Amino acid sequence: MPKGQLDHQDVINVSNKDPERFYKFFWFNPKIKPEDEDSNYKVLENHFDLGFCGVKIHSGIHLIKIPRDIIKLVRFMQDYDKKFPLFVHFTPKFS
């Protein structure tokens, strides 16, 4: 798993118990170095292929600047499936 990304096995385990009730969202850190983008987005794509149907980001934890730091993520999601939601969890900066 690339540095800064989670493996989401707990999300997979819970959602597999009741897939009609639990939707798999990938918690993604869009603030990645250019040289690490390909591997990070490949992991995200693999999770989409496993049934993940959206992305959640944390503005405070990853110190994301909206919209600058999420433009590539939004484009990637739009190219994969225009119906996938992007959930932005706005929090005070605490990282």
For the chain, domain boundaries: 9-89
* Residue at 89: amino acid letter: H
For residue 93, the model assigns a pLDDT of 66
What's the CA gap between 73 and 67, in Å, rounded? Answer: 10
Tokens 């118990």, residue located: 17
Report the relative pairing of strands 86-89 and 54-58 from DSSP bridges. Answer: parallel
H-assigned helices in 1-95: 9-17, 37-49, 71-80
For residue 63, the model assigns a pLDDT of 83
pLDDT in tens, the chain (95 residues): 677 777 899 999 999 999 999 999 999 999 889 999 999 999 999 999 999 999 999 888 888 888 888 999 999 999 999 999 999 988 776 65
For residue 43, the model assigns a pLDDT of 94
Compute the C-alpha angle 57/61/65, nearest 5°: 65
